Amino acid sequence: MKKYILFFLGMIAQLSYAATQDFLVVKTDSSAVRHQVLLQTTMGDITVELYNETPRHRDNFLKLVRQGYYDGNLWHRVISDFMIQTGDSTTRHSVAGSAVGEYDPGYRIPAEIHFPKYFHKRGALGAAREGDAENPKHESSASQFYIVWGFPYGPKSMAKFQSRLDSATHGTVKYPPEMCDYYWSHGGTPWLDGQYTVFGEVVKGLSVVGDIDAVATDDHARPLKDVRIIKAIVIK
């Protein structure tokens, strides 16, 4: 399915632990000030900070924000205890209940995956993409992005995720012990690591992400009651 990030629903159901509201921002070094973008939504404000180590994604995101591309967009794909996704500009005028989420501006961004420095912790900002068969280089959608919610995962779960990642990445993606501890304590979506570009993180309004993640949805994961980005603004 185009622009849909991959996930293993059956595995989640079997391995997931009770979700937690706790979140700890991992401090990382940066030689330059990071840009921040305010997402004003119908359920509250979310502020994301963009990583300088992913300049193509950062600059493309800032360009779209300044052009007003995200203004009025729906959070068109919401999966409870997993993530919230947006970036289809045609959703501004979509009819309630219609299938959405297939549109973006029509170009791809080369992958900028910096694992294990940046990983799919709760609050991570990631770029959606097409599946491996159509997109073996893991290039990102031009506009669609997601914010991680996820579950906490313990040692047994992480061991199973590691086995699956070994198969998917030919053994190139390994979870450091401290990262396993973080996922156990704070949650996230570790099975996406090393396969999708994480280009920022939520620095304010994580509770709003949790509120959106908890809304009722239809069979296509579209919220039954529309949740929108009213306006996206570069604030720093």
Mind listing the pLDDT tens digit for each residue in 100-143? 999 999 999 999 999 999 999 999 999 999 999 999 999 999 99
Sign of CA dihedral 210, 199, 179, 189: positive
Is residue 5 very low, low, confident or very high in pLDDT (cuts 50, 70, 90)?
Answer: low
User: Are the C-beta atoms of 82 and 114 separated by less than 8 Å?
Assistant: no
Closest CA to 128 of 164, 104, 93: 104
Decide which of 151 and 18 is more confident.
151
Whether the predicted pLDDT of 32 surpasses 90: no
Mind listing the pLDDT tens digit for each residue in 220-231? 999 999 999 999
Q: Which structure tokens are listed for 151?
A: 């579950």
Whether the predicted pLDDT of 232 surpasses 70: yes
Q: Per-residue DSSP letters for the chain?
A: -TTPPP--HHHHHHH---------PPP---SSPPPEEEEEETTEEEEEEE-TT-HHHHHHHHHHHHHTTTTT-B--EEETTTEEEE--GGGGGPPTT--------S-EE-----TTTS--BTTEEEE----TTT-TT-PEESS-EEEE--B---HHHHHHHHHHHHHHHTT-----HHHHHHHHHH-B-GGGTTTS-EEEEEEE-HHHHHHHHTS-B-TTS-BSS--BEEEEEE--
Is residue 11 very low, low, confident or very high in pLDDT (cuts 50, 70, 90)?
Answer: very low
CATH topology of domain 36-151+187-234: Cyclophilin (2.40.100)
Whether the predicted pLDDT of 16 surpasses 70: no
End-to-end CA distance of the chain: 35
Which residues lie closer than 8 Å to 11 by C-beta, 6 or more apart?
160, 164, 191
Mind listing the pLDDT tens digit for each residue in 170-187? 898 899 999 999 999 999
Whether the predicted pLDDT of 15 surpasses 60: no
User: Are the C-beta atoms of 205 and 46 separated by less than 8 Å?
Assistant: yes
Whether the predicted pLDDT of 8 surpasses 80: no
User: Are the C-beta atoms of 183 and 152 separated by less than 8 Å?
Assistant: yes
User: Are the C-beta atoms of 51 and 121 separated by less than 8 Å?
Assistant: no
Whether the predicted pLDDT of 24 surpasses 80: no
Distances (CA, A) of 38 to 49, 65, 233, 235: 9, 10, 5, 6
The CA-based angle 222-39-117, given to 5 degrees, is 90
Mind listing the pLDDT tens digit for each residue in 49-63? 999 999 999 999 999
pLDDT of residue 97: 82
Mind listing the pLDDT tens digit for each residue in 77-94? 999 999 999 999 999 999
Whether the predicted pLDDT of 21 surpasses 50: no
- What are the domain boundaries of the chain? 36-151+187-234
Q: Percentage of the chain surpassing pLDDT 90?
A: 80
pLDDT of residue 3: 52
pLDDT of residue 99: 86
